[in-house]
Amino acid sequence: MDLRQGLGLRRLGRTADEFQQDLLSTLYYRRGTTVESASARDAYETLSLTVRDRLAERRARTAAAHFATNPRWVYYLSAEYLLGAQLEQNLLYSGTGELAAEAVKTLGFTLEELEGLDIEPGLGNGGLGRLAACLVDAMATRDIPAVGYGIRYDFGIFKQSISGGAQAECPDDWAFQGNPWEFPAPDDRQTVGFYGHTEPVPGSQTRKRWIPGEVVLGEPSHMLVPGYGTETVNIVRLWRARGSEASFDLSRFSAGQYAEAVQEAVRAENISKVLYPDDSTELGRELRLKQQYFLCSCSLRDIIRRFRLRNSDWSDFADKTVIQLNDTHPTIAIAELMRLLVDEYELEWDQAWSITRRTFAYTCHTLLPEALETWPVHVFERLLPRHLEIIYLINMFFLREVEERFPGDTDRLRRMSIIQEEPERRVRMAHLAVVGTEAVNGVAELHSKLLRETVLNDFADLWPAKFQNVTNGISPRRFIKIANPRLSDLITEGLGGEGWLSDLDQLAGLEALADDASFLERWRAIKRANKVDLAAGDPDSLTDVMIKRFHEYKRQQLKLLHIITLYHRIRNDPGGDWVPRTVLFAGKAAPAYHAAKDIIRLINAVGSTIAADPVVSPYLKVVFAENYNVTLAERIIPAADLSEQISLAGKEASGTGNMKLALNGALTIGTLDGANIEIRARVGADNFFLFGLDAFQAAELRYSGQYRARDNYERDGELRAAIDAIQSGAFGGVGHEVAGSLLGWDEYLTLADYRAYVDCQDHVDRVWRDQATWSRMSVLNTAHSGFFSADRTVSDYAARIWRVAPVPVPRDED
């Protein structure tokens, strides 16, 4: 079984001396430099490769174990991965942190310096992309044979800076200096077609020949995904688009037409050029559909290639393969698998459909209507003519099924059709995703319930058993062990071991320490030390954090109204006994989302006004941390006292930042939305600050036609003062659009929840004054966050949706 021994390779060093030898030989032979001339970048690359080698060894053993077992595989298809920085994680997962810290000194650097050079691949927007990264981590930790497929964007999510109080965007050329974590695999490249036309195949009713008008290459590279406390190392395989050799026009180049000569190659490479920075909204740009099809076509061919390495019978495909669709972005894979099976492998339609349906599962991440992807039929027809024909056929058979169950119900047929007819013909990707899969899940209890009862209600009527809930989870390794080493050490001491890191329910053992005064004292001291490190404000102030994408439904504007209210109160009573607060915002707004960018501007304007006010600034500070990403989250979360989860109920599918903050002992102020509900149920209602309308009340108020935002403004003096201040130009004249939108339609009922929110914040202040009580509540939040481990999420998927078993990888014996 042991490949390395079979090849006569020596075992990689595990003593400090051996590790150092390996490091030096990497520096010399692979980096091509010497200790004397090594730059920080040389040292960083050298260390990364040395650590990576240890994982590569485990990867080889994993591949051998998987090959021998021929198991059922999970393929996770996602247009986004927010993997976070790799070096620290891989040091932890390979158990080489201490060896490395020692060894890099011989190169003249500290480990911290080198970790500072480790740039995270920002290949995602927000929650959905980070969830993909947490799930692949947990799949490896749970020994599940899995591959994550994605796109290797040249440019990730834009870099955000604040300039004159407003968001400015810069391109994120994340791999500009290379990426030591990646293995290119050019041999596994695929060819992908676009445009063109279809032709009938003589003698066949269903098969067609597609003659694409454009062909591009997909070249994969992979990053290693080690499990924690196990031997498994899985991979995430990312595709990058390239022009073929033929796409370079030598004759034009020779004629001096340089731009024209490379035009085709440029067009091809544009497919994986940049991540679309739109979170929870759909732009409907053709290039985005092109990206989606590119990902799906390359990945499916790779999946089939892997299947055929070990199997010969198509009837085994669905038993050996489950493909999880991360939202609708990869849904075109359903039509693509049908095309491959019917047109290329010549299966009968019915057999192909049965295989396809049993192979896929779909996770929905939203309820916002604007996030439900649809594509104009004419765009589809031009870009993917054969796929549109296949979708029409799928739809025809599907609508026949509906008609049989609900005869004569034409309104239902219209509602459920994969093709929307009015006001324009469009392909509804969510409908295709429900029709073409075996299981559909939401990402928190409430979300799954609302999916069944609202957006996907007709489908739940037809196929009730298809609909499930799998509540999201997070990686405890990254979000507490790595992010918060002080707290992790205290927990390990309190629980008598590190077992909790791969069995997070063990945190419940902390409950026994929640009344231990000296433990609470230490708990508090750690939070304070983390705040000192973050250096956002006075470490003794209440650190109140709202870190997430900017979106009106998340209601950063509600937090802002609270801040303005505090500002007014302190100004009106400068001698009052105020609880000092540092409010920290971080997050990006989609570049074209003007209302969200207006909120960012107003936050910064209010922050400046407060900072310039000698009366208020000792008690209140507003900080906007630029360029929120995974790395910054790891710094902020350990320092948070209060976690803001204040979306309008019924809008946030789950949230995962809420879980990370609770795990690190922040108390939540939140609505009954997404996973907040499950957090509150577990940490206890007494240890959670709840306010506001619930999802039912919110929907009723919104759709009653009776809601008038202005009534709240007229009724509530503090609210009126806050909005009047904005409108009178008190914050540098900024914020008219924000105020106008609140007083007008107020889509997300911000003013309806204002009073409940402010009163609840007053309660937060009262509890904060009693630090012993606060710390006890904090410990209980951590103690009861075990359920929110992504390991549990993956076990749920494995048992109820994937029906896969772990395949343990043998240890390296010698």
**Catalytic choice (554, 601, 651, 702):** 554
Residue nearest to ligand 475 (CB): 127
Shortest reach from residue 329's CB to ligand 475, in Å: 7
Shortest Å, Cβ 442 to ligand 475: 9
Q: Exposed (0-12), middle (13-18) or buried (19+): which is 617, by Cβ within 10 Å?
A: middle
| Residue pair 813/494 in contact by the 8 Å Cβ criterion | no
- Cα–Cα distance for residue pair 584/642, rounded to 1 Å: 10
3-state secondary structure of 442: strand
- Give Rg (Cα) of the chain: 27
Q: Concatenate the DSSP letters of all residues of 566-619 into one string.
A: HHHHHHH-TTS-PPPEEEEEE----TT-HHHHHHHHHHHHHHHHHHT-TTTTTT
- Which residue number, 210 or 276, has a Cβ lying nearer to ligand 475? 276
Distance of closest approach, residue 180 Cβ to ligand 475, in angstroms: 28
Closest to ligand 475 by CB, 80 or 219: 80
Closer by beta carbon to ligand 475, 240 or else 329:
329
For ligand 475, the closer CB: 126 or 165: 126
Other C-beta atoms lying within 10 Å of the C-beta of residue 550:
26
CB closer to ligand 475 out of 118 and 282: 282
Local structure of 169: helix, strand or coil: strand
Catalytic residue among 222, 365, 452, 651: 365
What does the alpha-carbon distance between residue 703 and residue 697 come to, in Å, rounded to a whole number? Answer: 10
Is the Cβ–Cβ distance between 619 and 570 less than 8 Å?
A: yes
- Please tell me the distance from the alpha carbon of residue 729 to that of residue 727, in angstroms, as a whole number: 5
Catalytic residue among 222, 531, 660, 776: 660
Residue 660 known to be catalytic:
yes
Q: What minimum distance in Å lies between the beta carbon of 549 and ligand 475?
A: 7
**Residue of 52, 301, 431, 549 marked catalytic:** 549
Which single residue is written with the structure tokens 């490395």?
Answer: 100
Catalytic residue among 321, 356, 656, 793: 656
Binding site for ligand 475 (CB under 6 A): 125-128, 131, 278-280, 365-366, 371, 443, 472, 652-656, 674
- Residue 554 or 601: the one with the smaller Cβ distance to ligand 475 is 554
| Nearer CB in complex with ligand 475: 669/780 | 669
Rounded Cα distance between 641 and 571, Å, is 25
Distances (CA, A) of 155 to 41, 174, 176, 632: 21, 7, 10, 19
Catalytic site residue 549?
A: yes
**What is the nearest approach in angstroms of ligand 475 to the Cβ of residue 99?**
36
Tokens representing residue 493 in the block: 């001491």
The three-class DSSP label of residue 179 is coil
Cis peptide before 423, with omega less than 30 degrees from 0?
Answer: yes
Least Å distance, CB 769 to ligand 475, is: 33
Q: Tell the burial category of 558 from Cβ atoms under 10 Å away from its Cβ (0-12, 13-18, 19+).
A: buried
Whole-number minimum distance, CB 111 to ligand 475, in Å? 32
Q: Report the catalytic residues.
A: 365, 548-549, 554, 656, 660
